[in-house]
Amino acid sequence: MLPALLLAVLPVAGCGSGTTTAASGGASSAPRCAAPADAPAPVPPTAAAPGAVGQRLTLGRDARTVLALALSADGNLLVAGDRSGRVTLWDRAAGAAVCELPGEPGTAVNDVALSPDGRTVASGSDRGAVRLHDLGGGAPVELPGHDGDVEAVAFAPDGATLVTGADDDTVRFHALPGGDPGPVVAVPDTARALAWSPDGGTVAVGTDGAVVLVGADGTPGATLDTGDGSAVNGVAFAPDGELVAAATDGERVHLWRTSDGAPVRVLTGPVNYLQAVTFTPDGSRVVATGNQGGLWVWDTTTGGVVERMQNRGAGFDVAVTPDGRHAVSGSSGEIWTWSLG
Domain boundaries, the chain: 4-10+50-339
Assess whether pLDDT exceeds 70 at residue 240.
yes
Question: Containing H/E element for 275?
Answer: strand 274-279
pLDDT of residue 8: 43
d(CA 287, CA 51): 12
d(CA 180, CA 111): 20
- pLDDT tens string 212-221: 999 999 999 9
Assess whether pLDDT exceeds 60 at residue 333.
yes
Amino acid at residue number 247: A
The residue with greater pLDDT, 28 or 317, is 317
- pLDDT tens string 155-186: 999 999 999 999 999 999 999 998 999 999 99
Contact 242, 202 (CB under 8 A): no
Q: Which fold has domain 4-10+50-339?
A: Methylamine Dehydrogenase; Chain H (2.130.10)
Q: Please tell me whether residue 139 adopts helix, strand or coil conformation.
A: coil
Buried b (16+ CB within 10 A) or exposed e, 292-301: bbbbbbbebe
d(CA 35, CA 72): 19
d(CA 93, CA 79): 14
Question: Containing H/E element for 7?
Answer: helix 4-7
pLDDT of residue 121: 97
d(CA 131, CA 165): 13
Assess whether pLDDT exceeds 80 at residue 7.
no
d(CA 226, CA 248): 9
Amino acid at residue number 157: P
Reference 318, options 275, 281, 284; nearest CA is 275
Please list, in sequence order, all residues whose beta carbon lies within 8 angstroms of the beta carbon of residue 40, skipping any fewer than 6 positions away.
Answer: 57, 58, 59, 60, 97
